[in-house]
Structure 1
């Protein structure tokens, strides 16, 4: 993907949207004769059954139903689920993910074919739906209930289980193109294909492969002026120009390294549109502001994206064999790549740069008042040691007008490279998985075993629009770069030569290796059917790897030593806008799990299901035990009553519990104790207490840790959940459900927000680490077991089964499951 400087929007009168689906020849593996219903594994249980027999609230959506709804990606399914408060776009670099019950994506377990995948490696807590193979998808099942008794950690809010085709024979090609009604960006192009050969029934084998590829272009605010443009909003009575001075290509300058006394030679002429615009000045919206603190601000509409660009590619393949009609063996592989082109606006120096401002000597040809750059016009006292008001016109700044007294002083300013456009990073994620599985019957036992290997990689790169601080400063010192306007040919060539493009500054890995086995057997016959016992076990190793931060642009001290702190974090570097991160670590944990499940159809109408699971974590040195009981009562042929109760847990991630490297961030803030303010989260609004100066405790760049070097005190979250509901089918093809549910979380894991510390310093006094003189050294704002929370709700749904078209699509070898799998659920309501 390449950088883009957005152009003005052009309105289109019609919506241009097209989707083309080309279906090739397919050999249907079904017949016109009625098919027997097949028992399959349903999410939430280890025992195979008919889909309609479960007592748990499971939503099932077939892949053809997703297409009938007009879905172009699995994110659409996630967004339309009323139980999910999910990330709505690909603007997040981790991609869209499921967030059942609004408890956070880390409390919803995402599975592929009933098994775990490698987590997103940076946080190691969730899986993005972008890595699921869409063309190979048979159905998506959502368990709206806690499921730690079957799946272990992370299933507090529920489980999303994506099932690919068991077998597939035929071929299919799909092409999609979606164009917004207005031009400028946001276009989506996609192609998908699937090809399968072999008949598992007659040939004893089947193989198929699928491909999904999608590209989405970025959309910038400037291309939607009716939503974001300040002048348009102001004309509509909906907004005014902002009064904050932000870094812009027409730099505001001062005479100190903090550049806190700002002037701008381009202000009176309206700054340099569209890159920057004038402020109202003095923080005022009055008709005649005094402009004592005027300047130019960065036009966010020009640099900021509404949606980022993205690219998704998934390749999935599966090979299946049938052995002696009693056993089956399969090998499946997945390779997924997901790239987000994350636009971050124009980048300026931060606390980890050699300095937070640039400087320019009076010898530069661009020094104000030397000819190229006009002098700054001011009114009032102008001795060269004070800050007179900038002049704009006599009605707003009356008084004697003169040129600002520069005295050939070095000037300091915050500046960004306008001509390079919005800086963007390429967040490239890869998720690979290989599964070898077998199932069959031996000595009266049904068995299912599997070997699962998964790995994910996240490679974060400075894609374009980033520059090197030292080289930019050299350009200002030598008079090559102009901080007060667009560059000439020499300056533009120099600017492009100091751009850091396609530079990797952070790499993380995550791995998931496991072996699992399940045995099921009928113990006896009850009035309602067989009493079935299932016993499962799993050995799993989760691991994470962090690559060391690259040293290319890390600054050195006078002795030639890299500026890296005692923990291994980079403290000073030359790349403006991003910080090389990573301390080399290899982390792992071993989990041993065992599950016992019993399914008892006591009578034709009453059935019970009970399960209990234990998980032992070697790094936590603890074993959790989580039971679950569910009951189903067929009150009438058209009415089912159901309920369940369960406990659950979520273990702290490897990165939370084992990584001894603190993650340090910083921001300007007032000391909440020594510079108290009525608005403590707004910097420079407090006043110092006796014994301290404003420079010491007010508007100070303060470090805070979002990760601590020792998190051994963290405990697993625990939960208790329940559901009570019913399913009603008043007429054939119409199904309505209602489920009332509740979840209580204890020892809930969460980061302490820096704003909480600012607002409640007495409560978090232990989190504020101070130096010998009493000023803040750093603040700990990292993970902790923060307390308890409870949530309750009501799920309502209605689904209708419409007659299918006579033409048969390429089919799986499995028979239709139940009426529910052929339905088109409509969006329900949630209270």
Structure 2
């Protein structure tokens, strides 16, 4: 990009960005989303479609497209993910309070491939979702964003339940734009910069190539407190603050860092191009490549304090305080391993007793005894201060779409669009500063747990034909077919990351602590074929009707047929009524149907390993047998089904325009990670009610008796409970969107007020009977997001100065999982000033969250170390300032 600057500077080209801004208010917003007519405007659409220009979209301190969407679209929510396993790398986002995979994402009208991450820790709302990695799109590449706020499965296929996001790429064939942005928080951390450039080139007089590049880096933030258990260790003299940097390798402020993750080496390139093959045909091509590294933290593994995160590493049994031998009436202890095996050679005590002031000091005599015996081992010898794993991943995203569109000279003209595309998103995980406890003193400290990749291939064939049937307009008949194949690959980690070491049978946890490695590489795929018909016409000068039907057949989940009926009626030139009724669906992904994963969660202050296994696996079917034996039926996995109903009106009064749209979405058989199944209970049932003592014993005995094949259960000996994806619960989502704007003259300049608000409420109608969701998830789905979101913006242009003032309102919400209820509403103020230094150069200064608002502090902050809830709808970094330079010609 840098080497191209001298060449681009020599080219003579007008400032296309400024021209686009000057003409934006005089051009009707023609949309391509939700309609297959070539001249439909947003104002005349039967369903609500918001059009956000690229420049409006980028008026934000953040350089992440998801954060920009959150600012511009009140029904869109995305949170920072500080300790969320893989969800830290590809953040899950919600629209209308629904799961990330209930919104369809398009680029240039073509379906975007999913991200590689399945969000096992999705805050309750997004648990188990596999959505699109929207952050892979550089904002400077966008000409505009169209947001369809209605169900559209019959038009576009799976996922279009909450709505459709269509990112339209810039297509100018001349000009150059360069932007450099730098910002930070009021606290002085979270420094970030973005350098981006866009250039358009003509291909003679028949085509164009538009290229965007972006380089981005975001430093992490620390919003932690010293945990109560750590404060006790400091007070007792067991550790000092100087040990904090040894514990976490990231900051010396706190032992457990919690805040915005680091994003490094974030590179993105997008290309968009077209070339006229003839007067009736155009070849088009667009695609991207990007990569980034995201790193965050985990919970602190405390070596000595009872009740803290010590399981599987430090926590031993209760022991006699004098002998260190197990005693149920004794004191808590630090776990000791017998390296040559229990009952072989020399023997070891069961645990090192902990006593003394603050109940944190290991008995020095017995600690010395263990240290002096080469056959006995405890991690208190090698990692006495405890540790905090550092987890992250290298993400790579690429896509390529090529197609031909045009008209066949048949009658009134048959339009066609034939395209093929392939996209992939891959994440390779790493975890550092941790251990595989079952390997004892031989454990590495850094691991490569493996990776995941989502790959999708699509072929589309679309036709549009206008038929004169005596209406005001031709009857627009669109029809076509789509073939889609998706593949999900799981890559094995290094052996130490999943090994079941020699100390596993003595209570030491296996696999890399915090995020276990994948023991083997697996691949799963599914495909679907779809056919659709879409009709639309202006029946009279006042009435427009639209109807669509789509049939889609999945190789793994059968077929579904969905339809949509919509219309808009012009009561007058200034008042319009519109409404729609549709059915929709979301099919499980190949990843959801086949993923194997073990993640560590904090459950009531204790770290617990929770496994996720395919329902189709041997263990999944064994669990299904067990659940069926309870008399509630057998779990299954298939598509979610939705019914959408919406109606609204738009009105223009003087220099103002308003749209108000009500919606109701009933979603049944939602795909969910259900309640955990006790693995030992399921194995005992398989053994005819035998009471096995451990999972390992049960697997051995059932294999010997021929009931199971132990090779189907490799790596599961240490798993106490697991869950799987199945169809589970039902919800109803109701809400209203209000959008308004008012333009007026002020102070010899031009001003514009814009209001966007959303009220959204989701109710869980049925938790499910076969694999029900628990009360915490019900609470999250219903209350974790604010019911009311909105913003009002005032933009003013006068001479060389353009200003923006925006007030963002976030209604009350609950985070009962962290013990916070009825969190108060908040108003955040953003300001931005743009000074046109020359015709080509703009200088920008801005602040997001001007008055440094924070969410309410967690009442249990001292227990978890988290100062704020990670579910905060506006983050937890406080105020952020930024400066920017824009150069265009």
Q: TM-score range by the shorter chain?
A: 0.5 to 0.7
Mapped pair 1:84 → 2:41:
no
What is the correspondence of 1:275-290 to structure 2 with a 5 Å cutoff? 275=243
Which of residues 632, 651, 671 is equivalent to 1:749?
671
Distance in 1 (CA, whole Å) between partners of 2:80 and 2:352 is 47
Offset at residue 829 of structure 1 (A): 3.6
Aligned-pair CA distance for 1:104 = 1.0
TM-score by length of 1: 0.67
Pairwise CA distance, 1:96: 3.5
- Tell me if the contact between 1:433 and 1:454 (Cα under 8 Å) persists in the aligned partners: yes
- Report whether the alignment pairs 1:27 with 2:27: no
Structure-to-structure mapping, 1:174-323, within 5 angstroms:
174-183=179-188, 185-198=189-202, 203-221=205-223, 228-229=224-225, 242=228, 244=229, 268-269=236-237, 271-275=239-243, 301-311=254-264, 312-323=266-277
Q: Provide the residue aligned with 1:783 in structure 2.
A: 725
**8 Å CA contact 1:513, 1:541 repeated in 2:** yes
Q: 1:426 aligns with which of 385, 389, 392?
A: 392
- Does the C-alpha gap of structure 1 residues 471 and 142 become closer, same or farther in structure 2, counting only changes over 3 Å? same
One of 149, 152, 157 as aligned partner of 1:152: 157
Q: Distance in 1 between matches of 2:645 and 2:146?
A: 19
Q: Which has the larger radius of gyration?
A: 1
Structure with the larger helix share = 2
149 and 553 in structure 1: CA distance in 2 versus 1, 3 angstrom threshold: closer
Task: Please tell me whether the aligned partners of residues 142 and 160 of structure 1 are also in contact (alpha carbons under 8 angstroms).
Answer: yes
Kept after mapping to 2: 8 A contact 1:111/1:162: yes
Equivalent position to 2:540, from 589, 598, 603? 603
Q: Which moved more, 1:587-596 or 1:421-430?
A: 421-430
User: 1:470 deviation in Å?
Assistant: 8.0
CA contact (8 A) 1:348 1:576 kept: no
- Give the direction of change, closer, same or farther, for the CA distance of 1:775–1:745 in structure 2 (3 Å limit): farther
**Distance between the aligned counterparts of 1:85 and 1:319, measured in 2?**
32
Q: Work out whether residues 358 and 473 of structure 1, in 8 Å CA contact, stay in contact via their aligned partners in 2.
A: no
- Structure-2 separation of matches of 1:303 and 1:557: 27
Equivalences for residues 504-515 of structure 1 within 5 A: 504-515=448-459
- What TM-score comes out, normalization by structure 2 length? 0.63
Identify the residue that residue 48 of structure 1 maps to in structure 2: 38
**In structure 1, how many angstroms separate the alpha carbons of the residues matched to 2:669 and 2:10?**
52
The 3-state SS of whatever aligns with 2:478 is strand
Supply the distance in 2 between the matched residues of 1:404 and 1:705 (Cα, whole angstroms). 41
Residue deviations 1:614-669 (CA, integer Å, cap 9, x gap) = 1011122x111000000101112111111000000111111233x2x654457899
How does 1:622-661 map onto structure 2 within 5 Å? Answer: 622-657=558-593, 659=594
| CA separation of 1:28 and 1:666: change in aligned 2, threshold 3 A | closer
Q: How does 1:268-417 map to 2 (within 5 A)?
A: 268-269=236-237, 271-275=239-243, 301-311=254-264, 312-346=266-300, 356-357=313-314, 390=355, 392=357, 406=366, 409-410=369-370, 415=380, 417=383
Query: Following the alignment from structure 1 to structure 2, what is the Cα–Cα distance between the partners of residues 766 and 523?
Result: 64
* Separation (CA, whole Å) in 2 of partners of 1:117 and 1:516: 13
- Please report how far the alpha carbon of residue 598 of structure 1 lies from its aligned counterpart in structure 2 after TM superposition: 0.6
C-alpha change, 1:274 and 1:104, in structure 2 (3 Å) is farther
User: Structure 1 162/100 Cα, relative in aligned 2: closer, same or farther at 3 Å?
Assistant: same
Measured after TM superposition, the shift of residue 48 of structure 1 is: 2.4
TM-aligned CA deviation for residue 713 of structure 1: 2.4
* Higher alpha-carbon deviation: 420-429 or 159-168: 420-429
- Is the contact made by 2:211 and 2:271 (CA closer than 8 Å) also made in structure 1? yes
Alignment match of 2:140 (pick from 135, 153, 168): 135
Change (3 A) 1:538 1:37: farther
Structure 2 partner of 1:736:
658
Equivalents in 1 of 2:496, 2:488: separation in Å? 24
Matching of residues 81-120 of structure 1 within 5 Å:
81-88=73-80, 92-120=87-115
How far the C-alpha of 1:744 sits from its partner, in A, is: 0.5
Matched residue SS, 1:410: helix
1:718, 1:327 → 2: CA distance?
A: 39
Q: Give the 5 Å matches for 1:486-505.
A: 500-501=445-446, 503-505=447-449
Q: 2:420 aligns with which of 451, 454, 461?
A: 451
Unaligned runs of 5+ in 2: 1-8, 119-128, 246-250, 317-323, 325-332, 334-348, 372-376, 622-634, 696-719, 761-889
Q: Which runs of 5+ in 1 are unaligned?
A: 1-21, 222-227, 231-240, 251-265, 278-297, 360-366, 368-375, 377-383, 475-497, 565-570, 670-680, 684-698, 807-821
CA distance in 1, matches of 2:91, 2:545: 36
Q: Which residue of 1 aligns with 2:802?
A: none
The alignment status of 1:172 with 2:181, answered yes or no, reads no
SS state at 1:127 partner: coil
Q: Secondary structure at the match of 2:32?
A: coil
Q: Secondary structure at the match of 1:75?
A: helix
Rate the CA distance shift 1:73–1:584 in 2: closer, same or farther, 3 A.
closer
Q: How many Å apart are 1:469 and its aligned residue?
A: 5.1
- Determine whether 1:615 maps to 2:552: yes
- Once the two structures are superposed, what CA deviation does each residue of 1:22-54 show, in whole Å capped at 9, x if it has no partner? 999633677999999789652122332332321
How many residues of Structure 1 are paired with residues of Structure 2 in the alignment?
637
Q: Residues 336, 348 of structure 1: CA spacing in aligned structure 2 closer, same or farther, 3 A cutoff?
A: farther
| 2:29–2:51 CA contact under 8 A, matched in 1 | no
Q: Could you say which residue in structure 2 is the equivalent of 1:460?
A: 429
Q: Deviations over 1:587-610 (max 9, x none)?
A: 221211111011121111111000
Check the 8 A contact 1:23/1:172 in 2, yes or no.
no
Distance 2:495 2:103 in 1: 37
For the 8 Å contact 1:458–1:508, the answer to whether it is kept is yes
What corresponds to 2:691 in structure 1? Answer: 773
Whether contact under 8 Å (1:208, 1:317) holds in the other structure is: yes
The Cα offsets for residues 85-113 of structure 1, whole Å up to 9 and x where unpaired, read as: 32346774243443111111111111111
Q: Which residue of structure 1 lines up, in the alignment, with residue 637 of structure 2?
A: 714
* Cα drift, residue 612 of structure 1: 0.6
- Cα deviation 1:289-321 (Å, max 9, x = unaligned): xxxxxxxxx999333131110133210112321
Whether the 8 Å CA contact 2:285–2:400 is kept in 1: the answer is yes
Change (3 A) 1:217 1:527: same
How far apart are residue 552 of structure 1 and its match?
Answer: 5.1
- Looking at structure 2, the residues matched to 385 and 28 of structure 1 have their Cα atoms a distance apart, in angstroms, of 76
Residues 1:26 and 1:76: Cα distance change in structure 2 (over 3 Å)? farther
| Contact preservation (8 Å) 1:79, 1:88 | no
CA separation in 2, counterparts of 1:341 and 1:172?
Answer: 31
Structural RMSD (CA): 4.6
For 2:352 and 2:489, locate their aligned partners in 1 and report how far apart those are by CA, in whole Å.
53
For residues 492-546 of structure 1, give each alpha carbon's deviation from its aligned partner in whole angstroms, at most 9, with x where no partner exists: xxxxxx8645x43211111111111211111115443222111121111111222
What SS does the corresponding residue of 1:726 show, helix, strand or coil? Answer: strand
Q: Determine if contact 2:547/2:564 at 8 Å carries over to the other structure.
A: yes
